[in-house]
Structure 1
Amino acid sequence: MRKLKVLLAASMTMLAILPAQAAETVALWDFFVGGDGVRMKALLADFNKEHPDIKIEATSLEWGVPFYTKVRTSAAVGQGPDVMSYHLSRLPLALTEKVLTEVTPDDLAAAGLKKEDFFPNALEAASDGGKLYAVPFDIHSVVLYYNKTYLKGTEFLDANGNLTGITDLASFEKAMAAAKEKGSATPLTYATGDDGGVFRVFYTLLAQQGGELITNGNEVLTGDNEAKATKAVETMTRWHEQGWQPEQALYPASVALFTSGQSAFSINGVWEVPTMKDLQATGRLGFEWGAVEVPNIMGQQATWADSHAFAIPVQGDRTMSPEKRKAVMTFIGWMEKNSLRWAEAGHIPAYKPVAESAEYKAMQPNATYAPLAETAVYDPRSKIAGVASPVYDAAVNIISPAIHGYMPAADAVAQMKSDLQGLLN
């Protein structure tokens, strides 16, 4: 009996020192820094804690051209990540470069997801030829922030302190004029000297006219689209001529104009909602504010938008193991189902069960502008479009000078059309 006990004890000791079952390690590349980075790191820590059999090893890289260049290079030589963050506006170029693998119906099932779980606009932007190449994580767009101080006593603030009465271009311009009379130094602020700020406003005004910048992936401003683009630039130019928007404002300056209380309105991304909330919570914001989807001022409801998504890159000539792929999809599914915490960064969850939850509907001002998910307009489906692309370069190099009076709107649009078409021919 004593020998049996000794043997059992020895066996237990051996089991105790044996290594635990190795976790499936998943390499993640993302471009999230600042507030987004903090939130992503917290989500990853919780995922790893809840999934001892999967270990996410994340690397945050520089956003924009450097990130996408590294993805393209790594995909060719098989040294990329297992999963990565991706802008859906870059999907057409990614497909041209053949750097993404299809997310199959079996993949979605492994994640506990279905296509109908996602907003149609985001799903369309993530797909090509009926195949899914990325899983949308959020919808981030521009919205209209407003400072209630300059609107009190006008027809543009209702009894509850909410923005009202902006139903067309004339009423929006009337609101800006009223704000200027009340002392707003710059009634409307956006990044008039940056590619992103100029393009997002221009593209929203174009889309609200039913216009298309690039049709069929390779036709720039065909038909009446050139006239609609000209009207958009003329509108932005008039705002400059009236002194309603800042002169050559870079992004930080455009934000500061609003947060310091000098502007009545700001057209900027939902990602600045945490900035506003933080300033308000710490008593550094001297006014009441709100945020709504950009009103229909040009004819139909439409707003520029993009999505952060999760994509699985090509790995040279290697194929991911079934075990690794299941771990990747488990991670993506968990992130989607926990995206309420990502929404704290101002984003609209692309995963409808979260976006339609009572918890999200109680989140303000997010829930107020959330309906724009149904009318969001993504960048043109073209290899020269998307963030950090030639289209954005044209916005800062051609449209921005035009709205500051350095060339007529029609000439600027004609030059943009010629330059972009030249890249596609």
Structure 2
Amino acid sequence: MNLRPLLSAMALSLSLAACGAPDDHAGDAHGHEEGAHAEAVRGEHGGRVLEQDGFAVELAIAESGTPPTFQAWLYHDGKPLPASAGRVQVELTRLGGAREAHALVPQADGSLRADGTVGEPHSFDVEVNATVDGKALRWRYESYEGRTTIPAQVADESGIRVAPVQAGTIADEHEVQGLLTPIEGRAAHVAARFPGPIRRVAVEIGDRVRAGQTLATVESNLSLTPYAVTSPIAGVVLARSATVGSVAAEGTALFEIADLSTLWVDLHVFGRDAQHIVPGVPVTVTRLSDGVTAQTTLERVLPGTATASQSTVARAALANEDGLWRPGSAVKARITVAEQPAALVVPLAALQAFRDRDVVFVRVGDIYEARPVELGQRDAGHVEILSGLAAGDEVVVEQSYLVKADIEKSGASHDH
């Protein structure tokens, strides 16, 4: 069982508690009206009631059946006023300092409504400026959701990492399995030139040899003199049947030598996938034993079909200077058929599901906020962002689930 995620989550929770972080810091729907912390009062339309000197504005975000927009109702001494009795303007400051203004105009139903849409997330500092029956009014309050504060040291100790959103590519990739094999023409079966007893064996299986190096010594039955059996190529000893005292028969292979500095990767492609794979496309090969990857290019697609698997074999060459890629080993690979440029991409690890929406967590200073995003195409490592982020936004790319857990712990609400 991997305890690291659990321990990281516990460490984050304990660290935040030690820092004195309030339980409601992520979703505080209570407002600071003119600097005083006050419990939000709800009106008959479900909106926040802002009161001053007997005048009141009930402000809500209308979301039922329409794009979210600000809507307001006016009151004096608790009695409704017609929409024509005043005007209302709402100014929002979002995380990071972006500002937007919404001017509300009278409607036939007696309310005032803004033309502009209130984009997600509905998390901002709010300033309301109104004039009701000639009385100038102003309120300021916080309306946050999906937001939390994590000190930099706590975030670092918990493994939370951020990276800027930037342009990238989304790859059309095919996941396949394959097998490493020696390249034909780079292997040699070494036999004795003349029959006779083997007097000496100089190499073992796995030894690297150079061209011309002595592999064994055989005493010729014809001349009764010893001669050297040498390697015709540089490579690695793959097989050895020679033993001291045994008789080397003419034409019988004593050693198998192969140059393994480059191997073939034979990849098995099934069904219609074979129609999209052509020579020249990039291939990422992964060694199953330790997860090490290597980049190469597809050289050819063989014309026949593998009899046992009924697959098409696509072949690439793989550099093997360190000798750690071993013939006969199974590998997995990603064949990149095409790459599509994308204006904005983030790693898949940045994505989280939050209130039935796809979100990433944007960081500004020590503040983290859930940012709903519209997703485009994706590949094995990244996803395209169509809306919800801007280039340069810093998003959590590692341990994003810890940020989500901290926001959920604080009971964030979608409240205006």
TM range (shorter): under 0.3
Larger RCO of the pair (alpha carbons < 8 Å, separation 6+): 1
Name the TM-score, length of structure 1 as normaliser: 0.20
* TM-score between the two structures when normalised by the length of structure 2: 0.20
Structure in which a larger fraction of residues adopt helix: 1
